[in-house]
Amino acid sequence: MKKIALLALPAAFALALTTNALADGAGVYADNCTKCHGDDGKGATKMGTKLGCKDYSTAAVQSAITDDQAFKSIKEGLKKDDKTLMKPSELSDEDIKASIAYLRTLKK
């Protein structure tokens, strides 16, 4: 019994790592970002309008931000004066990167 458990453990661990690495950007975005930025990245949702989300379907808005800056703002949160625009994310680094990659695809 003990031997089987010891063999199964690394396999489960490897599977978890693989699933993580293949993080589905569209899914991460849908679950964590659409509420504000919208399915289309335009930010025309109730929350997005209230908080002043920019239109990420436009090239101008997309090119104004680097992936590194986007990552930092999502990971550490984004504030304007003392108003919180985005809370620091609890997503893994891989998921944050995947969600940014997906956001990039929303540029028309």
Q: Please pick, from the candidates 9, 85, 88, 105, the single residue that binds ligand HEC as defined by CB under 6 A.
A: 85
Q: How many residues bind ligand HEC (CB under 6 A)?
A: 23
Of residues 20, 69, 92, 105, which one binds ligand HEC by CB under 6 A?
69
Q: Are 74 and 97 in contact (CB under 8 A)?
A: no
Angstrom distance (rounded) from CA 101 to CA 95: 10
49 binds ligand HEC (CB under 6 A): no
Residue 75's closest CA among 64, 86, 62, 61? Answer: 86
Q: Is 51 in the site for ligand HEC (CB under 6 A)?
A: yes
